[in-house]
Homo-oligomer: A and B are copies of this chain.
Amino acid sequence: MSKILSNIKHLIFLFSFSAFSQGDSIVLNEIYKTSLTDGKAYEWLDFLSNQIGGRLSGSLNAERAVNWAESELIKLGLDEVRLQPVMVPKWVRGNPEFAYVETKPGKTLNMNVCALGGSVSTPPAGIKAKVVEVSSFDQLEALGRDKVEGKIVFYNRAMDKSIIDTFKSYVGCVDQRYDGAFHAAKFGAVAIIVRSMTLAIDDLPHTGSMSYGNLSVQQRIPAAAISTKDADLLSSMLKMDNSIKFFLKQNCKQLDDVLSYNVIGEIKGSEFPDEYILVGGHLDSWDLGDGSHDDGAGCVQSMEVLRLFKVLEIKPKRTLRVVLFMNEENGLRGAKKYASESRKNKENHIFALESDAGAFTPRGFYFEADPKNFNQILSWKDLFEPYLIHFFELGGSGSDVGPLKNSVNVLAGLKPDSQRYFDHHHSSNDIFSTINKRELEIGAATMASLIYLFDKYGLVKVTKQ
């Protein structure tokens, strides 16, 4: 390795007077090559997914993941590795959910459902009620208390198949999951079921976070996701006979908050140690799968970024920090804690990059940046062309880095190919066997390359916050 490096350094020296980007392209080439031939992301994810598994905030697995990540970062020989305490919600699913449609007494058909994260349980004997299908809150409102009271509200607006970026389809639907119980409870519904947030037509229910808003504990109603196949079936059955009943039993519970941690590792900057560059993902996941895509991948890719700097002996000018956030899925407590501590300590985060959109082939990045900084970023675009990274757009970053935004810094989110993502997201199909090693590794290399460029060139006209 050191021989390669000295060759690179020699070449960088040769070119540094004529064209910076020639040196940069050599470094990027080395980053991609090392990630693809000698990477550690896949092996790490194998352990995190298969030896630890799903890591819901507050669970024993989440604790094990924290300890494992800390020990792996220590092995990298970083300048500092630490745990940042944060209190997190602890919601447990309990025994698996059970649901069926009853067309007449004794005639039932089982349905694939799962409780939404944060939902209350049903009474121990379950809930059986008629169903009213809606596709929007407006439609619910138009029906009014008369048609809703005592019933189960079934939100069945499907994700829009015609949109290329599946995250945009998701955003156009997820209000049903997040706010559905809140709205339905106001009209006297006894429970809600919501069509799973996926473009696949299959048997898997997809969980995810929800909120009861300002509803009192007494007003809260159980909320479950139903598979898309069963949503279609239920909808057809309702068209034939709207007096059929739906039975739902779930056994979830919200316990007291518990102590958990963000895991933080860093390489001190050699020239501007007070300028921080952050790369991260979230260590918690939902409980149905093993959280390989959401967001084990983002965690091991972020760890890999720092590992690549170490093995390639690239000494950052600025302080490089990996943060594995806790509790992105149902509270964002880790991100909020990290941002507030960082404000308190007046840490100047010039750039923060998150990977939380799956382990698929990276297409580029979304950015939150002012025009000058975005122009600098666009000037790097050609460097990524050999790796088929073309997508550099304004328009977002990630949930965990979001709270770090200020008027001068830049945030970004890795943008992998999105077509398969919601086939896995929050379901029992988010598992390691669906990860492609190379796609994961190209993602890590793409992140490391952008971080390398940000470290080298810094912010344009960076001013103190």
| Interface residues, chain A, with chain B CB atoms under 8 Å away | 32-33, 36-37, 161-162, 164-166, 199-200, 361, 363, 386-388, 390-391, 417, 419-420, 423, 436-439, 442
How many chain copies does the complex carry?
A: 2
Which residue from B386, B391, B423 sits with its C-beta under 8 Å from A164?
B386
**Neighbouring B residues of A199 by C-beta, 8 Å:** 438
A419 to B389, CA, bound (A): 14
Q: How far is the CB of A87 from chain B (nearest CB, A)?
A: 40
A436 to B423, CA, bound (A): 9
Nearest-neighbor residue (CB-CB) of A164 within chain B: B387
A206 to B164, CA, bound (A): 33
Nearest-neighbor residue (CB-CB) of A387 within chain B: B164
Instruction: Please name 21 pairs of A and B residues whose Cβ atoms are closer than 8 Å in the assembled complex, sorted by A.
Output: A32-B164, A33-B162, A36-B162, A37-B162, A161-B438, A164-B386, A164-B388, A166-B438, A199-B438, A200-B437, A361-B417, A361-B419, A388-B390, A388-B391, A390-B390, A419-B436, A419-B439, A419-B442, A420-B436, A420-B439, A423-B436
**Neighbouring B residues of A165 by C-beta, 8 Å:** 388
A333 to B419, CA, bound (A): 36
Which residue from B161, B166, B200, B417 sits with its C-beta under 8 Å from A37?
B161
A126 to B438, CA, bound (A): 38
Nearest-neighbor residue (CB-CB) of A35 within chain B: B162
Given contacts A37-B161, A361-B419, 20 further A-B pairs with CB under 8 A are A32-B164, A33-B162, A36-B161, A37-B162, A164-B386, A164-B387, A164-B388, A164-B442, A165-B388, A166-B438, A200-B437, A361-B361, A361-B417, A363-B388, A388-B391, A417-B417, A419-B438, A419-B442, A420-B436, A420-B439
Q: How far is the CB of A341 from chain B (nearest CB, A)?
A: 37
**Neighbouring B residues of A420 by C-beta, 8 Å:** 436, 439
Nearest-neighbor residue (CB-CB) of A417 within chain B: B361
Q: How far is the CB of A204 from chain B (nearest CB, A)?
A: 14
Chain B CB within 10 Å — which of A388, A391, A420 has the most?
Answer: A388
A420 to B386, CA, bound (A): 18
**Neighbouring B residues of A423 by C-beta, 8 Å:** 436
**Neighbouring B residues of A361 by C-beta, 8 Å:** 361, 417, 419
A199 to B442, CA, bound (A): 14
Nearest 9 Cβ contacts at the A-B interface: A390-B390, A33-B162, A419-B438, A419-B439, A37-B161, A36-B161, A361-B417, A36-B162, A420-B436
Q: How far is the CB of A33 from chain B (nearest CB, A)?
A: 4
Q: How far is the CB of A102 from chain B (nearest CB, A)?
A: 32
**Neighbouring B residues of A162 by C-beta, 8 Å:** 32-33, 36-37
A417 to B391, CA, bound (A): 15
**Neighbouring B residues of A37 by C-beta, 8 Å:** 161-162
A411 to B230, CA, bound (A): 45
**Neighbouring B residues of A200 by C-beta, 8 Å:** 437
Q: How far is the CB of A391 from chain B (nearest CB, A)?
A: 7
A161 to B37, CA, bound (A): 6
Nearest-neighbor residue (CB-CB) of A445 within chain B: B164
Nearest-neighbor residue (CB-CB) of A363 within chain B: B388
Nearest-neighbor residue (CB-CB) of A441 within chain B: B161
A36 to B161, CA, bound (A): 6
A423 to B438, CA, bound (A): 11
**Neighbouring B residues of A390 by C-beta, 8 Å:** 388, 390-391
**Neighbouring B residues of A166 by C-beta, 8 Å:** 438
A282 to B62, CA, bound (A): 49
A436 to B436, CA, bound (A): 14
Q: How far is the CB of A416 from chain B (nearest CB, A)?
A: 10
